[in-house]
A and B are shown apart, each in its own frame.
Chain A
Amino acid sequence: MSLFRRRPLSIGWRWALRYAVAILVSLTAFSLFAYSRTEKQATREGRRLLERQAAELAGRVVEGFENIDELRGYVTSVADAEPYLKISVQVFDDNGRILYGRGILPSHEIGIPPDFVRSSRDSHFYEADLNKRFPYWVVVARAGEMFVQVGAYSREFVRPARELRTMLLTATPVVVVFSLALGWWLARTSLRPLSEITATTRRITGSRLDEPIPTTGTGDELDELAHTLEEMRVRIRDSVEKLRHFSADAAHQLRTPLSKLRSRLELTLESEPLSPSIRKTLEENLCEIDQLGSAVTAMLQLASSEAGLAPGQSELIELGGLLDSVVEFYEPLAAENQLKLARTDQNQVRVMGDLAWLRQLFGNLVENAILHTEAGGRIEVEAEERDGEARVEVRDTGTGIDPGSLERIFDRFHRGRSGGDSPAPGAGLGLTIAGQIAEAHGGRIGVESDAGAGSVFSVGLPAV
């Protein structure tokens, strides 16, 4: 079942995203602050400018003027003081009539606020409604009996703030994209030791414990992780090594006395005149010793396959040919038991492994199938490569396995199949050894069975 599953984002991308969000938030906060400060500042300065111009003009008007031309001169100089602000100016006489005006104000006839006229203040700042979209700022000031009015669009004053806003709005996406890229790069750079650790750790199996995990030597958290894993690797390697030594020692300790016992029995049987009953007992003892020897061999093999493939034990193996030779070896035995044993495909599948062990793995499965299938049955061996996995199935039409013992079928000394008494030495370990060999090759073994209809043993090994 291969449902499409979305892969979670890599740490690199997650870090980059967080980084970008952090940048975005702080940049926005900064922008809001900068914009509001700039706007407030610009507003204040604009108002002051208008008040200054109004006061200056009022001063000149109070000083007096010869004719209208001189007044026009005053007005022009005030209006043009800051050309970009497009300042509008008008001067009223004591009756409230416009003596002279310039810019947008004269055409709107907003007059002088009556409140101000009645008050005793020198000047007044207010926002006039020119029926335009933008607020218009006006300062009116007393010039003796006359009044001067100076005004400008407020947006002209906040233009620098608006320019800053535009700039920030344009810059933000650019900065965010840039920080995303930078964050990704940073994360990738700092995580690179981690992916090396992962790659090495993945390569480490029972058979490849000799490759050290790379440490950066920087002493940071990643380096600490690498060191911890490296210590773990060394510990595992040592215990695997100890296990290998143990099985060699145990072999020596168990087999040497067995061997002496056997030789002694054989020599006695050969050289002494013995009564038939003693001879029979001794011969039976000889058989028991052989069975014990086989059991010791099987258990030691189990111990060594649990320790995994020894380094240098792995070679490129074509499973198709290997299975053919297994089938060929057991075919006469199957025929003797009136069974059909055959490979059902011609696939070539290549794996890395140990030839003798893999022969034993599939030999055990086929032998097991032969032992548990009744005359007239079929045993099929099939190999194929699927999703990078070499898959071998051994199917029989045998007695099957009852569901209760299905889980324990690969356990040591389990003789659950068909429940018959099987006198073969080492029996009960064949499937366990098969399972251990599969695992030592980085593979797996499984079984499905219908009681009465047969079993399917399947082995999956990493294909090359």
Chain B
Amino acid sequence: MRSSADQYAAGVKILYVEDDPVAREFVERGLRSRGFAVDVAKDSAHGSELARLGDYELLILDVMLPDGDGFELLEHLRESGVETPVLFLTARGEVQDRIRGLDIGADDYLSKPFAFGELVSRIRAIARRRYDEPLDGCLRTADLELDTARHKASRAGHPIELTPKQFGLLEYLLRNEGFPVTRSMIIERVWGYGFESRSNAIDVQINYLRKKIDREFEPKLIHTVKGVGYVLEVRDPQATDG
């Protein structure tokens, strides 16, 4: 079961720094099977060397490494001018650890244990983030238009009333068009840290957005990706899962 987004994985070159051989093997195999090009390093020193030489689009760093922690490695890399996006993958999942990681220049933070789909979604979100920011501040797909400067949304020219958070949610989905985003990615990016909901609050929010965006219009844009989260994209009518 491959989504159309897998084609974007081709050419995304990743360096993965992890000391545990078993974890390293699984993640490496999983990422390769999804079309990413993966190099691995087993400690901070090796990782630092590779990160400086290789032309990577993403670094995945474990926080606890045998020769120093991942935070230090990142600080070290940023100081020596390596601007490659970084995703922390770690067993230290405290919100404060996440915030610290993001503060020193990481792009994302994923705590173990994680669903592979979650990791892949986050990798794609980072890899995509550098592309296409529209000049007029308008995001478009199909007949959906989102004016980020004026905070106005419309479909086929009909204005759609959205609350600020619904607007933020739609903007986030639209910026990741074609790439599934997970529930926790949505919470972190749209609502901020601390809303680690155990209930289906996000599903309800998405349903509300769907009612406004999709109910009276075709094609449907917001789709559920089983086991991962949600994606905004134009699909063939046959492939639509509602």
Q: Which A residues contact B (CB, under 8 angstroms)? A: 247-248, 251-256, 258-264, 266-267, 270-271, 289-290, 293-294, 297, 300-301, 304, 310, 313, 325-326, 328-330, 332-333, 335-336, 354-360, 363, 367, 370-371, 424-427, 430
The answer for the CA separation of A258 and B113 in the assembled complex, in Å, is: 6
The answer for the CA separation of A175 and B185 in the assembled complex, in Å, is: 78
Contact residue among B29, B113, B198, B200 (Cβ-Cβ distance under 8 Å from A426): B198
A251:B194 contact, CB within 8 angstroms: no
Indicate whether B33 reaches chain A with its CB closer than 8 angstroms.
yes
A314 to chain B, nearest CB (A): 12
The answer for the CA separation of A430 and B91 in the assembled complex, in Å, is: 21
The answer for the CA separation of A359 and B30 in the assembled complex, in Å, is: 35
B199:A371 contact, CB within 8 angstroms: yes
B92:A252 contact, CB within 8 angstroms: yes
B192:A263 contact, CB within 8 angstroms: no
The answer for the CA separation of A336 and B211 in the assembled complex, in Å, is: 13
List chain B residues, Cβ under 8 A from A326: 195
Contact residue among B113, B193, B207 (Cβ-Cβ distance under 8 Å from A259): B113
With A258-B112, A363-B195 given, is the CB distance from A329 to B91 under 8 Å? no
For chain B residues 95-134, which have a beta carbon within 8 Å of chain A? 95-96, 99, 111-116
A303 to chain B, nearest CB (A): 10
The answer for the CA separation of A247 and B93 in the assembled complex, in Å, is: 10
B22 to chain A, nearest CB (A): 5
Residue of A nearest to B164 (CB): A328
List chain B residues, Cβ under 8 A from A247: 94
Other CB < 8 Å A-B pairs besides A263-B116, A297-B111, 7 of them? A255-B111, A258-B112, A259-B114, A266-B116, A293-B112, A332-B201, A367-B198
Indicate whether B160 reaches chain A with its CB closer than 8 angstroms.
no
The answer for the CA separation of A325 and B23 in the assembled complex, in Å, is: 38
Residue of A nearest to B20 (CB): A256
A290:B113 contact, CB within 8 angstroms: yes
Contact residue among A255, A357, A425 (Cβ-Cβ distance under 8 Å from B93): A255
The answer for the CA separation of A335 and B201 in the assembled complex, in Å, is: 11
Residue of B nearest to A355 (CB): B194
Contact residue among A267, A301, A359, A430 (Cβ-Cβ distance under 8 Å from B192): A359
The answer for the CA separation of A22 and B208 in the assembled complex, in Å, is: 81
List chain A residues, Cβ under 8 A from B197: 329, 363, 367
The answer for the CA separation of A360 and B204 in the assembled complex, in Å, is: 19
Contact residue among A259, A304, A359, A424 (Cβ-Cβ distance under 8 Å from B91): A259
Residue of A nearest to B198 (CB): A424
Indicate whether B165 reaches chain A with its CB closer than 8 angstroms.
yes
Contact residue among B92, B96, B165, B208 (Cβ-Cβ distance under 8 Å from A313): B96
A356:B33 contact, CB within 8 angstroms: no
B163:A262 contact, CB within 8 angstroms: no
A259:B29 contact, CB within 8 angstroms: no
List chain B residues, Cβ under 8 A from A271: 33
List chain B residues, Cβ under 8 A from A259: 23, 91, 112-114
List chain B residues, Cβ under 8 A from A359: 192-195
A262:B192 contact, CB within 8 angstroms: no
The answer for the CA separation of A254 and B91 in the assembled complex, in Å, is: 8
A256:B112 contact, CB within 8 angstroms: yes
With A267-B29, A290-B113, A325-B191 given, is the CB distance from A260 to B20 under 8 Å? yes
List chain A residues, Cβ under 8 A from B26: 260, 263-264, 267
B201:A329 contact, CB within 8 angstroms: yes
The answer for the CA separation of A407 and B207 in the assembled complex, in Å, is: 38
With A261-B113, A267-B26, A325-B191 given, is the CB distance from A333 to B204 under 8 Å? yes
B179 to chain A, nearest CB (A): 19
Indicate whether B205 reaches chain A with its CB closer than 8 angstroms.
yes
B91:A252 contact, CB within 8 angstroms: yes
Indicate whether B218 reaches chain A with its CB closer than 8 angstroms.
no
Q: List 5 A-B contacts (CB under 8 A).
A: A248-B92, A266-B30, A356-B194, A360-B196, A363-B195
The answer for the CA separation of A123 and B194 in the assembled complex, in Å, is: 111
B200:A333 contact, CB within 8 angstroms: yes
Most chain A beta-carbon contacts within 10 A, residue among B20, B26, B29 = B26
Q: Nearest 9 pairs between A and B by C-beta? A: A359-B194, A356-B194, A259-B112, A255-B91, A263-B26, A259-B113, A356-B193, A258-B113, A252-B91
A320 to chain B, nearest CB (A): 16
List chain B residues, Cβ under 8 A from A264: 26
B95:A356 contact, CB within 8 angstroms: yes
A328:B163 contact, CB within 8 angstroms: yes
Contact residue among B94, B191, B199, B201 (Cβ-Cβ distance under 8 Å from A304): B94
Contact residue among A256, A360, A430 (Cβ-Cβ distance under 8 Å from B23): A256
B19 to chain A, nearest CB (A): 10
Indicate whether B139 reaches chain A with its CB closer than 8 angstroms.
no
For chain B residues 40-98, which have a beta carbon within 8 Å of chain A? 64, 91-96
With A255-B113, A260-B23 given, is the CB distance from A425 to B193 under 8 Å? no
Residue of A nearest to B190 (CB): A329
A139 to chain B, nearest CB (A): 103
A332:B205 contact, CB within 8 angstroms: yes
The answer for the CA separation of A426 and B33 in the assembled complex, in Å, is: 33
A433 to chain B, nearest CB (A): 10
The answer for the CA separation of A111 and B163 in the assembled complex, in Å, is: 124
B53 to chain A, nearest CB (A): 28
Contact with A along B1-41 (1 / 0, CB 8 A): 00000000000000000001011001101100100000000
A98 to chain B, nearest CB (A): 115
Most chain B beta-carbon contacts within 10 A, residue among A260, A325, A367 = A260
B195:A260 contact, CB within 8 angstroms: no
List chain B residues, Cβ under 8 A from A427: 198
Residue of B nearest to A297 (CB): B93
A251:B20 contact, CB within 8 angstroms: no
B115:A328 contact, CB within 8 angstroms: no
List chain A residues, Cβ under 8 A from B198: 294, 367, 424-427, 430
A357:B191 contact, CB within 8 angstroms: no
